[in-house]
Amino acid sequence: MIQAYEYNHQYELVRPIEVFERDDEGKYIIPEQCTTIAPPNNPSFYKAAFNVEKQQWYESATQEYIDSLKPSPLPPSDIELLKKQNALLSKQLTHLLAMFKGAESE
């Protein structure tokens, strides 16, 4: 048995498969759209695809696809919202006090 790697019509990795069948000479029969070249054990690959001419795997994921896999930012917590609201109210109060003191001195 040998390990082979199946790819689809866009040459993207589908799955690893085990090959058991042999020809009359004892060589393993690799199915179409399969290769015995292992994809890189690279965590930075998002969507491995096989280049048949160069006999190597490459990254086929677009930047848009990669970005879509990243988690969206979490909404601010209640404490963060209260801190922002407190800062805004403090700024408004300081501005009102300054206006009030300016009106008193006239």
Instruction: Quick: pLDDT tens for 83-94.
Output: 988 888 888 888
Look at residues 67, 59, 62, 65 and name the one whose alpha carbon lies nearest to residue 43.
59
Give the residue carrying structure tokens 């086929």.
Answer: 60
- For residue 88, what is the enclosing H or E element? helix 78-104
CA angle (11, 24, 37) in 5-degree steps: 25
Instruction: Quick: pLDDT tens for 32-87.
Output: 999 999 998 877 789 999 999 999 999 999 999 988 988 888 888 888 888 988 88
**DSSP secondary structure letter of residue 90:** H
The full DSSP string for 40-60 is P--TT-SSEEEETTTTEEEE-
Domain residue spans of the chain: 2-69, 72-106
